[in-house]
Amino acid sequence: MRRVDALGVAGVEVGFPYSDSIADGPVIQTSFTRALERNLKVDEVFRTIAEVRRTVTMPLVAMVSFSIVTRIGVDRFFERASAAGFDGLIMADLSLEEAPRVAEQAAARHLRLIMLTAPTSSAERRERIARIATGFIYYMSVAGTTGERDRLPDDLIDNVRQLREIGRKPVVVGFGISRPEHVRSVCSVADGVIVGSAIVRRMLDVVDAGGDECAVADAVEACVRDLLTGLP
């Protein structure tokens, strides 16, 4: 996180490992499985963020299952997330019906609630999501799970334009972004891109090859630098 903060990225999404996530593809799920096998706890994530927050200025967003949040308690989790230094939350399994109340609880702790919408979402659903979102709208470029892809859907640009008109809020695109040319194409119309699997895969590759923490950081920095070359 310190390395990419120095590169000037707009923020970092921090995943809370979960055994039954609904939107993560095989790469991120593998990383979650390995973390859980090593008995990683929510407390440790919060402690790490609190430590890093002292020297990192970019926004930090928690990607966490709403099941974890409800088990701990919504208000308690949000209080701890805010105290640790998180700025926002993404909860892929948060229902649209529960979202307005949860958005209010998050706002009470000075946390933004980032809402996801898919290519298959109806116009009415997209409008509701856009109204509730208090950070940005996370547009999933494809329906399904995260993961690197060779090419992005043909309807992505038009869908992002429509979302920006509906919500009048920033629209950031995730799912499948893995190359500088993807970044260039998407950022011609969207406010940003989210890259997860491409970065996590490089981390796993370094670990599998016996690399240490410094080697992992080197790989992440190199990957992000490469992606940034695609910015218009």
Which one from 13, 44, 87, 154 is the annotated catalytic residue?
Answer: 13
Q: Is 213 noted as a catalytic residue in this protein?
A: no
Rounded CA separation 195/205 (Å): 17
3-state secondary structure 168-182: CCCEEEECCCCCHHH
Ordered per-residue pLDDT tens for the chain, 232 residues? 999 999 999 999 999 999 887 766 788 899 999 999 999 999 999 999 999 999 999 999 999 999 999 999 999 999 999 999 999 999 999 999 999 999 999 999 999 999 999 888 898 999 999 999 998 999 988 654 444 445 566 788 888 888 888 868 899 999 888 899 989 988 888 999 999 999 999 999 999 999 999 999 999 999 999 999 998 7
24 is catalytic: yes
- How far apart, in whole angstroms, are the C-alpha atoms of residue 211 and residue 231? 30
* Cα(4)–Cα(196) distance, integer angstroms: 13
pLDDT score recorded for residue 93: 92
Q: How many CA atoms lie within 13 A of 50 on its CB side?
A: 12
- Both tokens assigned to 48: 């790490």
Determine the structural domain holding residue 131 and report its residue range: 2-228
Instruction: With residue 116 as reference, give the H or E element that holds it.
Output: strand 112-117
Give residues with Cβ within 8 angstroms of 78, minimum separation 6: 69, 89, 105, 106, 108, 109, 111
For the stretch 118-124, contacts whose Cβ atoms lie closer than 8 Å and that sit 24 or more positions apart, written own/partner, are 118/142, 118/143, 119/143, 119/153, 119/155, 119/156, 119/159, 123/166
For the chain, the domain total comes to 1
What is the pLDDT, as a whole number, of residue 147?
A: 44
Q: Which of 24, 158, 165, 191 is catalytic?
A: 24
> Could you tell me the CATH number of the domain that includes residue 121?
3.20.20.70
CA 212, CA 217: separation in Å to the nearest integer? 9
Handedness of CA 36, 41, 45, 48 (dihedral sign): negative
**Residue 139 carries which DSSP code?**
E
Sign of CA dihedral 144, 220, 13, 188: negative
Q: How many CB atoms lie within 10 A of CB 222?
A: 12
pLDDT of res. 156: 84
